[in-house]
Structure formats: C-alpha cells, structure tokens
Amino acid sequence: MSVATATASTAHTDATPAVCAPLPVLGRDVTVPLVTGGEVGYAALDYAASAPALQRVWDDVAAYAPYYGSVHRGAGYLSQLSTDLFENARRTVGEFLGCRDTDQVVFTRSTTDSLNLLAHALPAGCQVFVFETEHHAALLPWQGAEVTCLDAPRSPRQAVETLERALADRDSHGPALVCVTGASNVTGELWPVRELAAAAHAHGARIVLDAAQLAPHHPVSVRDLDVDWVAFSGHKLYAPFGSGVLAGRADWLRAAEPYLAGGGASRTVTRRADGGVDVEWHETAARHEAGSPNVIGAYAIASACKALTEAGLDTLAARERHLIGTVTAGLAEVPGARVLSLFGEDAPRVGVISFVIEGWNSSHFAAALSAEYGIGVRDGLFCAHPLVRTLLGADADSPGDCGAQEAAPHAIRVSFGAGTPDEHVERFVNAVRELVREGAKWRYRTENGRCVPAV
Ligand code: PLP
C-alpha cells in the first residue's frame, strides 16, 4: 500500500480489534517506580522521538557482534565479512525504499544528518521550498540557499496548491528543491507526497521526502511516490544504533564535494610537486561516508527493514489504526481535551497524536503521567516551533508555571508503533481521564523550565 492508499483507508476510526500482536521490542518488561508507591510496567509512548529496538534487531546485532571488523579497509576475514554485511545492508535498505537502479543509498547518522548532507550537495543557485510545518531538521539545513517558507496548509489539497503557486511564481528556471515530510511529527497527519512530487516535477523542481515519521509506520517507495530523495533515522525505525539514511538520485551527490573529507571518501591521494595534495574522490555513496562506517548501525537498519517487511507494514499499519482509534476516541470524551490537527480530525495519520487540555500546563500533565502512571510521553514544541505555534494559536514561548490553571502554551504528544501493546494506550486513556477528573495526586515544581515531582 502506498501513502496515497493509506490516506484513503485510514480516513475513518477503526474500531475493530487489533489485527496482529505487537512486534517484540526491548524494554517491554521494564518496570518503573511511581511517586505514589510501587512499580508499574513502563508504557513507552514516545516512539516519535525514539522507538525501542526490535528484539529481532537486537538479536541480529548480538549475533554479528563477535564477527565485528573494519569496513572497506582490512584484509582479514572479519573485515571482509563486515564489508559484505555493510554493502548488503545498503542493498536491503534500497529495496525497502523501492529505490531506482541508479539511486545511491548513503548511510548517515540520522535524518538531520541526511538532510544536511543534501543541503551541502545543492547545486549553485538552488532555491528551496519548505512548509513552515516541518520539523527543524527539514526546516533549517537550507540556510545557505534561497529558502521560501510556505504557510501551513489546512488541507492536503491546499498543500499542493500552495506549492504549485510558489513554484509557478519563481523568477528563475535554475535548480529547485522541495523538502516535505511524509507524516508530521506533531499531528501525525499524512502529507500528499505523491501529489507534491508531481507538482514539484511539473515545475522543474526536485523533492526530498523526510520520512523520519513515515517509514516506521507505512511502506515508502521512492519509485511509487516519485520522490528524488528520502531520508530517515534508524532510531525511529526500531534500530537505535546511530545510523540514518539518505537515498535517491546520484547526480547532485556525485557533483558535490564530499560531506566530510577523509579516508573512505577518497579513491587516490597524491602529493604534488608544489607541496599540495591532489585527491580523487569516490563517485559512489562512499564519497559522503568518510571515516570508518558505522557497520552495526547500518546492519541494524537493514535488520529492521527486513523485520518490518516480513511482519507486513500494511498489517502493522492496520493494527496501529486500531490503537489510534482507541486514543482519539478516548481523548474525545475528556472534557477540555483538544487534539492538534492541520487537516481535520478525520485526516489519516500515523500513531503520533498531540493534544492540549484546557486548564492544564502540558509539562505538568506529562510529568504526572510519568510519575503517577509510569507512562512516558513528550511535551513541548517538538522541534517544530512554527507549526505548534500555528496550531495552538498562542505565544508558545513560555511553558508557564507548573500546576498553574492556565491555558497550556505547549502541547503533549503521545506516540506509538509496532511494539505497542493495547494495554499501554488503554492505560494512557484511563490515566488522562483520571487526571482530568481528579487532578494530580502529587505536588510538582518547576525545575529548569520543566515540571518535576516535588520530592
Ligand atoms: N524529521 C521529522 C519529521 C522528525 O520527527 C525528526 C525527529 O523527531 C527528524 C526529522 C529528525 O530526526 P533525527 O533527530 O533522528 O535526526
């Protein structure tokens, strides 16, 4: 299923039972202390920040670890094995992303790193178009180029129209790049990637998809979506070993100076008679992977890609819709709760839901969920300050005093995925209800701008 069909099939609340069991992840048996006494199983509901490692990924990494060796630089058996593993990981990721034969898959540290690499590779005079709704990782790397920041659209159609207008208005016919998210890290809403790609191409621009929040939840195909590049992070894809990916067209990457200069990126280096140094750089992905590659990180991502493919991303997405239905239906019954949305409450989304509760400071609420219920969510502006400010319609600079009965200028985000048991989201919904009905049982104070239990 592509993003477009996911859009159609998630447009309603799915009240049917979960269609498969959660995938085993690390940490599922961890218990945490409650301020009110006793311990409870930790409900990790902050997948959008970092998802727990899949057990399968952990097992694969553990099985490989004794064979660990250098990549691309050793004659020994283990070096050769590790080099093979690294290059196979590249192929697996390329298949997972439905890459074209001519595409390059570059291993980076994260989505942020991937998008900064692409920013580094922009051709001279390139214009960049981004919506104000982007995560800072997609909003900020283009500062060296001419950037047009587009207003937050209120529907997928408006997103496409806004982009089309901006591209049609551009006064140059030079290179242009559109950077767009597949699923928002604030609202979880799916963006019309295929349509935006078509609009970009129709106006001679290229497009990079920030799939940091999309790839863990939905199939992503570079070919089907017709995007030029895609970026994502291992730690959000159940493979938290410090790697990310930039995959896509080779030409801009090949034409750019290496992202980092050093061994691995260079094919030959010679000393000139005048004392200088001449370098011939690789033209493959290695050009932008100088230094010793993170083979464990790359292997872990490939392992996650295989595990998700075998489990069936469509099946996992159907299960996630069930969890989304539980959370949205639960929040709809809580007095004063408002789910943040750009495209409307029925808009299809991944398991990322931000909300505010009238009369509650969001940091206070999130602290109480953690301290009194063992539930880990996130509060704040989620590295998407312009978007959250737009959605809250408020000056969101100050989180306000802990416990103050005032409008919440920050939001609370609950997020989940392939490893989340039903019990975690059910406990979350019950905890929200109870907190709003009865208030916090503990006292909290503000420390460094955050609410913490006053003990
Ligand atoms: N893009 C989106 C949509 C994100 O949600 C995030 C992180 O939350 C990023 C980019 C940046 O990812 P990373 O911190 O792994 O570089």
Residue of 31, 28, 17, 32 whose CA lies nearest to 51:
28
Across residues 190-214, what is the average pLDDT?
Answer: 98
Instruction: Say whether both 292 and 400 belong to one domain.
Output: no
Angle between helices 156-168 and 193-202 (to 10 degrees): 10
Instruction: Say whether both 280 and 349 belong to one domain.
Output: no
Looking at residue 322, its pLDDT comes to 96
Instruction: Say whether both 152 and 13 belong to one domain.
Output: no
Instruction: Say whether both 96 and 198 belong to one domain.
Output: yes
3-state secondary structure of 101: coil
Task: Give the C-alpha separation, 189 to 197, whole Å.
Answer: 17
Task: Give the C-alpha separation, 357 to 335, whole Å.
Answer: 8
Instruction: Say whether both 379 and 243 belong to one domain.
Output: no
Across residues 75-100, what is the average pLDDT?
Answer: 97
Looking at residue 405, its pLDDT comes to 40
Task: Give the C-alpha separation, 47 to 233, whole Å.
Answer: 12
Looking at residue 18, its pLDDT comes to 54
Instruction: Say whether both 327 and 183 belong to one domain.
Output: no
Instruction: Say whether both 77 and 113 belong to one domain.
Output: yes
Pocket test for ligand 1, best of 190, 191, 383 (most atoms within 8 A of CB): 383
Which of 252, 282, 310 delimits the end of a domain?
310
- Residue from 99, 179, 383, 402 carrying the catalytic annotation: 383
Band (pLDDT 50/70/90 cuts) for residue 190 is very high
Instruction: Say whether both 275 and 387 belong to one domain.
Output: no
Residue of 43, 177, 64, 40 whose CA lies nearest to 122:
177
The number of domains in the chain is 2
CATH number at residue 272: 3.40.640.10
Which tens digits make up the pLDDT trace of 437-446? 999 999 999 9
Q: What is the pTM of this model?
A: 0.93
Which of 310, 334, 356 delimits the end of a domain?
310
Across residues 405-422, what is the average pLDDT?
Answer: 83
CATH number at residue 357: 3.90.1150.10
Task: Give the C-alpha separation, 447 to 449, whole Å.
Answer: 5
Helix, strand, coil abundance in the chain, percent, nearest 5: 35, 20, 45
Place of tokens 């801009």: 252
Amino acid found at 336: G
Where does 106-218 have alpha helices with state H?
Answer: 111-120, 136-139, 156-168, 193-202
**Do the Cβ atoms of 376 and 412 come closer than 8 Å?**
no
Q: What Å distances lie between residue 84 and 69, 72, 124, 324, 405, CA to CA?
A: 11, 9, 36, 40, 59
Q: How far is the CA of 381 from the centre of ligand 1 (A)?
A: 13
Place of tokens 């989505």: 111
Instruction: Say whether both 419 and 405 belong to one domain.
Output: yes
Which of these ranges, 94-103, 167-176, 204-213, 245-254, has the smallest mean pLDDT? 167-176
Is the shortest distance between the CB of 127 and ligand 1 below 6 Å? Answer: no
Could you tell me which residues are beta bridge partners of residue 209?
Answer: 180, 230
Instruction: Say whether both 27 and 69 belong to one domain.
Output: no
For 423, other C-beta atoms within 10 Å of its C-beta total 11
Nearest atom, ligand 1, residue 236 CA: 15
Higher pLDDT, 397 or 148: 148
Which tens digits make up the pLDDT trace of 298-326? 999 999 999 999 999 999 999 999 999 99
Our answer to whether residue 383 is catalytic in this structure is yes
Instruction: Say whether both 231 and 349 belong to one domain.
Output: no
Where does 51-192 have alpha helices with state H?
Answer: 55-64, 77-96, 111-120, 136-139, 156-168
DSSP states of 373-385 as a string? Answer: H-EE-EEE-TT-H
Q: How far is the CA of 352 from the centre of ligand 1 (A)?
A: 13
Which of 242, 275, 310 delimits the end of a domain?
310
Band (pLDDT 50/70/90 cuts) for residue 7 is very low
Range of the domain at 163: 56-310
Task: Give the C-alpha separation, 417 to 170, whole Å.
Answer: 40
Name 365's Cβ contacts closer than 8 Å, sequence gap at least 6: 357, 379, 408, 412, 435
Band (pLDDT 50/70/90 cuts) for residue 5 is very low
Residue of 382, 389, 421 whose CA lies nearest to 188:
382
Instruction: Say whether both 321 and 281 belong to one domain.
Output: no
Q: How far is the CA of 212 from the centre of ligand 1 (A)?
A: 5
Residue 305: exposed, middle, or buried by beta-carbon count in 10 A (0-12, 13-18, 19+)? buried
Band (pLDDT 50/70/90 cuts) for residue 260 is very high
Structure tokens at 365: 């609420």
